[in-house]
Amino acid sequence: MLTCQALGGVDLLRRVTTAFRHERAQQAPRGCEMIIDVNPQPDESIFVRACRRQPVSHTPVWFMRQAGRSLPEYRAARAGTSMLDACRTPELITEFTLQPMRRYAVDAAIFFSDIVVPLRAVGVGVDIRPGVGPVVEQPIRATGDLQRLRALEPDDVPFVTEAVRSVVGELDGKPLIGFAGGPFTLASYLIDGGPSKSFDTTKSLMYGDPPLWNALLARLADITISFLKIQVAAGAAAVQLFDSWAGVVSSDDYRRSVLPHSKRIFDELAATGVPRIHFGVGTGELLGLMGEAGADVVGVDWRVPLDEAVRRVEPGKALQGNLDPAILLAPWEVIERRAIGVLEAGRTAEGHVFNLGHGVLPQTDPGVLARLTDLVHSASARLPH
Ligand code: CP3
């Protein structure tokens, strides 16, 4: 029951609307395809509800790398501007974040930026080379190099605050996901100096010089905490920590050398109250630990079926994933069958956010992503709850 006491006018209206929506959802006949998620407040959106493991009328969906090179309008608007310059320009950030929202009925936007943006903002010489990825001028190899990683202040990234506010103002109640790179992944770019296949240099520092490793990851965690808090303060409704390459370490080493730093990040974000998502590639052996680090939602790549991921993650977590992005290059019948398989496996989780197992491939047809979004909504509404 709702009472009028203790509720302000706007809040009351919001709650009544939510209660009404919820009632309609309850009354909707099984198999009904009606999608009831019209202009909710971000913290009551279907995406945030699924992250919190609350009942939803259908499965929410968004796609990692839904913005970017798969969209012709992105390629056109980015022409002549470097990636890092684009990430410092509020108008471009806003435009690129919103482009996929105009095409797809996805349930969340992801802030257009890059994991190296906060590093660059504190003065690290880093660039993003087209077709290569982040390249660091002077890799970090010794204790003396750490002084290049000072703390991040809101004044270092005014364009982030401005762009988050502007995006949130345009999203009509849909949630914006803020993000940052995870400690292992950021460290790997700083130590290796660029993208790596084997992460030999990074891992040898992790094994061979734990004090330097821990000092480096502690500084990266500080920067990340600050970067995520800035995004939440400006209006992000959830955060995702992309520790994309953490899957190259064993679970013992992850527990010893990475988890304490990620845990501190998630602990510091707890007070914000926004859902915290933790994702990495090839992290099948680490899923339990990535949940233990303090995430509300564990992102799963395509290698581990979601019903198996449920067994690997402690109770009290939602899951996100996990269609192989390469499946989107196959005929629609294959995509449809596989997507429904993901939805069915996702039903075994306490909460499920549909996503790909990693980012959208640049050669993906945006029409396929639009169709997949609608399929996730309609097929999940028909599945038994
Ligand atoms: O839509 C979204 O998901 C938001 C945008 C986003 C970008 N980078 C934009 C980007 C996100 C979430 C990231 C995070 C990121 N950046 C990660 C973690 C996610 C993951 O993919 O695992 C990592 C490892 C990076 C580092 C990085 N930046 C790589 C590997 C690359 C690709 C290099 C290439 O050209 O192939 C980048 C560049 C980058 N970041 C692009 C975009 C849209 C492409 C640059 C361009 O458009 O020219």
Mean pLDDT rounded to a whole number for the chain: 91
Closest residue by CA, ligand 1 atom 1 = 65
Place of tokens 């936007």: 109
Alpha helices in the chain (DSSP H): 9-27, 46-51, 72-78, 83-86, 90-103, 117-121, 158-170, 183-192, 200-208, 210-234, 251-253, 259-270, 287-292, 306-312, 332-346, 366-382
Which band of pLDDT confidence, cut at 50, 70 and 90, is reported for residue 39?
low
321-362 pLDDT, tens digit each: 999 999 999 999 999 999 999 999 999 999 999 999 999 999
Contact 232, 226 (CB under 8 A): no
Residues classed as catalytic: 65, 69, 78, 114, 189
Nearest ligand 1 atom to alpha carbon 74: 47
The CA angle 348-349-351, to the nearest 5 degrees, is 135
Nearest ligand 1 atom to alpha carbon 100: 1
Which band of pLDDT confidence, cut at 50, 70 and 90, is reported for residue 124?
very high
> Residue 112 Cα, ligand 1 centroid: separation in angstroms?
9
51-99 pLDDT, tens digit each: 999 999 999 999 999 999 999 999 999 999 999 999 999 999 999 999 9
Once rounded to an integer, what is the mean pLDDT over residues 232-241?
Answer: 98
177-209 pLDDT, tens digit each: 999 999 999 999 999 999 998 999 999 999 999
What are the pocket residues of ligand 1 if the criterion is a CB atom closer than 6 Å to any ligand atom?
64-69, 78, 83, 110, 112, 114-115, 128, 130-134, 179, 185, 242, 244, 359
Residue closest to 148 by CA, chosen among 129, 188, 114, 121: 121
283-295 pLDDT, tens digit each: 999 999 999 999 9
DSSP structure class, residue 71: -
pLDDT at site 116: 98
9-33 pLDDT, tens digit each: 323 333 333 333 333 333 333 333 3
Q: Report the C-alpha gap between 178 and 237 in whole angstroms.
A: 8
Q: Per mean pLDDT, which range of 23-32, 40-49, 163-172 is the poorest?
A: 23-32
Q: Report the C-alpha gap between 14 and 161 in whole angstroms.
A: 26
Contact 264, 276 (CB under 8 A): no
Two structure tokens written together for 301: 């790549």
C-alpha 168, offset from chain centre: 16
pLDDT at site 41: 79
In the chain, the N- to C-terminal Cα span, in Å, equals 24
Closest residue by CA, ligand 1 atom 8 = 114
pLDDT at site 43: 76
DSSP structure class, residue 147: G
Closest residue by CA, ligand 1 atom 37 = 133
- Find residue 136's DSSP bridge partners: 126
> Residue 34 Cα, ligand 1 centroid: separation in angstroms?
35
Two structure tokens written together for 366: 């945006």
Once rounded to an integer, what is the mean pLDDT over residues 269-285?
Answer: 98
Q: Report the C-alpha gap between 357 and 300 in whole angstroms.
A: 6
Once rounded to an integer, what is the mean pLDDT over residues 357-379?
Answer: 98
pTM for the model: 0.90
